[in-house]
Chains A and B, each alone.
Chain A
Amino acid sequence: MSARSNFGRAFVYGDDITTDALAPGAYMKKPVEEMASHCLEAIDPNFAKAVRAGDVVVGGENFGMGSSREQAAIALRQLGVNAVVAKSFAGLFFRNAVNVGLAPLVCAEADRIRPGDELSVEPVVGRIENLTTGEIYTCEPIPPHLLDMIRDGGLLPHLEKKLRKTAR
């Protein structure tokens, strides 16, 4: 779950990473496993094969630009990515990421992270330790009204919990 601390290697990309690259339209009608195997192939054909559970995707400005398709965030989750670190996010992607349990971390120092750096990420406190360089980065705090949702693992488990409470 995205609320947990996370340890993995950095996959670093630039500004304006699109939802078309993250979840290509041609595979949107396919099962999530198949769709995810094409994640980012337009800009890095090796990504889906190389990425392992716990790895972290790092972007520049406006990460997740474009479509409302939350499969862009789901594809990353499917591949084991629990956190994306970027200088900024497209607003729609940010909401989708939180909703599906992927932590979107806004970090002004995202550009200090190099491909392959080993990162330890604590989403809720917004702290990233670069184990390769020894640097510590501070992320913008997750808005307080979203913390419960992040802790619950996304909007659906959050709603499930709330509905159970109401039913009681």
Chain B
Amino acid sequence: MGLTLTQKIIARAAGVTSVAPGEIVTCRVDLAMMHDSGGPRRVGPMLERLGAKVWDPSKVVVIADHYVPAIDADSAAILDLTRKWVKAAGITRFHDMQGICHVVLPERGHLRPGLFAVGGDSHSPTAGAFGCFMFGVGATEMAGVLVTGAIWLRVPQEHSVRWDGRLTTGVVAKDMVLAMCRTISLNGIKYGVVEYAGEAIAALSMSERMVLTNMTAELGAQTGIIAPDRTTVAYLAEVGVDAPDAITWQSDADSTPFKRWAFDATSLEPQIAAPHSPANSAPAREHRGTAIDQCYIGACTGAKLSDLHMAAEILKGRKVAPGTRLLVAPASTRITAIAAADGTLATLAEAGAILLPSGCGACAGLGAGLLAENEVCLSSTARNFKGRMGAASALVYLGSPYSVAAAAVAGHIVDPRELLAEQAAA
């Protein structure tokens, strides 16, 4: 029987020819990524206690994205510690306030297909869009990796998720993943791995594929992965990654998944997840009229260039409704620069959007944009768990950047296709 893409990466990292689901293996880590929250301030004292050094500084990437920019003495101290530790540890791949780790990693050319990587953040599965096997770990586990260069793993069960058909206008990857959360549930994958395939997946841009692998975390998976294709190769070339073997990282035709899931893209409508779970999703029209205090476009999940373009498409020539506020935190400084050059930021600003720094911000319960008691928010982020974005009584809905921008204009939830149709007719 053949191997899946995931099993091939794990076997290579474990130094064996084949692995089977359930098997416990120890893998050599190709790349370890950590950020300012779970990184140096946590692992530094642990390494000191062990009297150990980073096993290979060239394999470590550190990204300051959580407490950026500093808003008080505590966050300033965390960033200061991060910068000093990185320098002392001899780590050169350090991105300070350049954007959110999961977006900066591919953007700055740190990812290539076949990589076995760990990240000190639960949305590390994002890298799976580039054919990497990358999963999230806590700080103690990261300290273990930094000391030994290795990590144990139970080879995950393979879940094949197929999306047939083609998405229609106004329906995007975020809608796909919210529909999956409902069908599969937040515990449905039980720490297995999801490999996405099908016509609708092949048609997605890298930026949209990242939304799927990013929120694979919300399906209870260890990680998600998409086999490299021409789109992947073109992206890698664009960011200057030389990966001649990229396309060879594929599942064997005779590999068998543990479970198969099938979805239809053509019939999918824009989705909205109601509080307090991404699995609590339904077609946007079912929530039509729900008044929104804050619209938030941000985070690794929902503020990439394509996300800002979606928002601008809706907001062009329109204004944010009185009584509603629209906050936009582009996912990286590179994205901000491109969006400034191509006119996207001007469109957002003219509509009345408030631009925030690139960082995890309100999505992680930090920085600007937290919610007051009983406020209602529609967000392009990944999680709407109780209390995550501010007050425990706040109500957070999740939707695509199209849906968030449309609600900002209407002042309440609408199916964004209503506004897109008006634009088309005008």
Q: Chain B nearest CB: distance from A33 CB in Å?
A: 15
**Mask: chain B, 209-253; 1 = CB below 8 Å from A; 0 = not:** 000000000001010000000000000000000000000000000
Q: Which of A16, A20, A43 contacts B186 (CB 8 A)?
A: A16
Tell whether, in the assembled complex, residue A68 and residue B140 are in contact, meaning their CB atoms are under 8 Å apart: no
Q: Chain B nearest CB: distance from A161 CB in Å?
A: 11
B323 CB within 8 Å of chain A = no
* Given contacts A20-B388, A65-B187, A66-B122, A163 and B138 within 8 Å (CB-CB): no
A28–B120 Cα distance when bound, in Å, is 15
Tell whether, in the assembled complex, residue A62 and residue B220 are in contact, meaning their CB atoms are under 8 Å apart: yes
Tell whether, in the assembled complex, residue A163 and residue B50 are in contact, meaning their CB atoms are under 8 Å apart: yes
**Mask: chain B, 409-425; 1 = CB below 8 Å from A; 0 = not:** 00000000000000000
A22–B235 Cα distance when bound, in Å, is 39
Write out the residue numbers on chain A whose beta carbons fall within 8 Å of the beta carbon of B387: 20-21, 24, 41-42
Q: Chain B nearest CB: distance from A44 CB in Å?
A: 11
Tell whether, in the assembled complex, residue B392 and residue A69 are in contact, meaning their CB atoms are under 8 Å apart: no
A61 CB within 8 Å of chain B = yes
**Mask: chain A, 111-149; 1 = CB below 8 Å from B; 0 = not:** 000000000000000000000000000000001010000
Tell whether, in the assembled complex, residue A20 and residue B365 are in contact, meaning their CB atoms are under 8 Å apart: yes
- Closest A-chain residue to B277, C-beta based? A16
Write out the residue numbers on chain A whose beta carbons fall within 8 Å of the beta carbon of B390: 26
- Closest B-chain residue to A93, C-beta based? B138
Q: Chain A nearest CB: distance from B61 CB in Å?
A: 16
Write out the residue numbers on chain B whose beta carbons fall within 8 Å of the beta carbon of A21: 385-387
A163–B48 Cα distance when bound, in Å, is 13
* Given contacts A16-B186, A155-B144, A92 and B136 within 8 Å (CB-CB): yes
Q: Chain B nearest CB: distance from A50 CB in Å?
A: 18
B191 CB within 8 Å of chain A = yes
Question: B243-274: which residues lie under 8 A (CB-CB) from chain A?
Answer: none
Tell whether, in the assembled complex, residue B141 and residue A95 are in contact, meaning their CB atoms are under 8 Å apart: yes
Size category of the binding interface on chain B? 35 or more
Write out the residue numbers on chain A whose beta carbons fall within 8 Å of the beta carbon of B37: 28, 69
B52 CB within 8 Å of chain A = yes
Tell whether, in the assembled complex, residue A91 and residue B143 are in contact, meaning their CB atoms are under 8 Å apart: no
Write out the residue numbers on chain A whose beta carbons fall within 8 Å of the beta carbon of B388: 18, 20, 25
Most A CB within 10 A of own CB, among B119, B138, B139? B138
B159 CB within 8 Å of chain A = no
Write out the residue numbers on chain A whose beta carbons fall within 8 Å of the beta carbon of B122: 19, 66-68, 92
Most A CB within 10 A of own CB, among B75, B78, B141? B141
Write out the residue numbers on chain A whose beta carbons fall within 8 Å of the beta carbon of B24: 143, 145
A16–B364 Cα distance when bound, in Å, is 18
Write out the residue numbers on chain B whose beta carbons fall within 8 Å of the beta carbon of A99: 138, 140-141, 144
Write out the residue numbers on chain B whose beta carbons fall within 8 Å of the beta carbon of A2: none
Most A CB within 10 A of own CB, among B24, B140, B191? B140
Q: Chain B nearest CB: distance from A16 CB in Å?
A: 6
Q: Chain A nearest CB: distance from B178 CB in Å?
A: 16
A28–B37 Cα distance when bound, in Å, is 8
B46 CB within 8 Å of chain A = yes
Tell whether, in the assembled complex, residue A159 and residue B187 are in contact, meaning their CB atoms are under 8 Å apart: no
Write out the residue numbers on chain A whose beta carbons fall within 8 Å of the beta carbon of B138: 68-70, 73, 92, 95-96, 99-100
Tell whether, in the assembled complex, residue B78 and residue A155 are in contact, meaning their CB atoms are under 8 Å apart: no
* Given contacts A92-B122, A92-B137, A96-B141, A30 and B74 within 8 Å (CB-CB): yes
* Given contacts A16-B186, A30-B74, A24 and B365 within 8 Å (CB-CB): yes
* Given contacts A20-B383, A66-B385, A91 and B74 within 8 Å (CB-CB): no
Q: Which of A42, A61, A91, A156 contacts B222 (CB 8 A)?
A: A91
B67 CB within 8 Å of chain A = yes
B38 CB within 8 Å of chain A = yes
**Mask: chain B, 162-183; 1 = CB below 8 Å from A; 0 = not:** 0000000000000000000000
* Given contacts A91-B222, A92-B137, A154-B140, A42 and B386 within 8 Å (CB-CB): yes
A43–B385 Cα distance when bound, in Å, is 11
**Mask: chain B, 147-161; 1 = CB below 8 Å from A; 0 = not:** 110001010000000
Q: Chain A nearest CB: distance from B42 CB in Å?
A: 8
A163–B47 Cα distance when bound, in Å, is 12
- Closest B-chain residue to A160, C-beta based? B50
A29 CB within 8 Å of chain B = yes
* Given contacts A16-B277, A20-B386, A95 and B366 within 8 Å (CB-CB): no
A88 CB within 8 Å of chain B = yes
Write out the residue numbers on chain A whose beta carbons fall within 8 Å of the beta carbon of B222: 91-92
Q: Chain A nearest CB: distance from B395 CB in Å?
A: 13
7 contacts between A and B (CB under 8 A): A20-B385, A21-B386, A41-B387, A42-B386, A95-B141, A156-B140, A163-B52
Task: Give chain A's interface residues, CB within 8 Å of chain B.
Answer: 15-16, 18-21, 24-26, 28-30, 41-43, 61-62, 65-70, 73, 88, 90-92, 94-96, 99-100, 143, 145, 154-156, 159-160, 163
The 4 closest A-B pairs by CB, nearest first: A25-B365, A91-B191, A70-B138, A42-B387
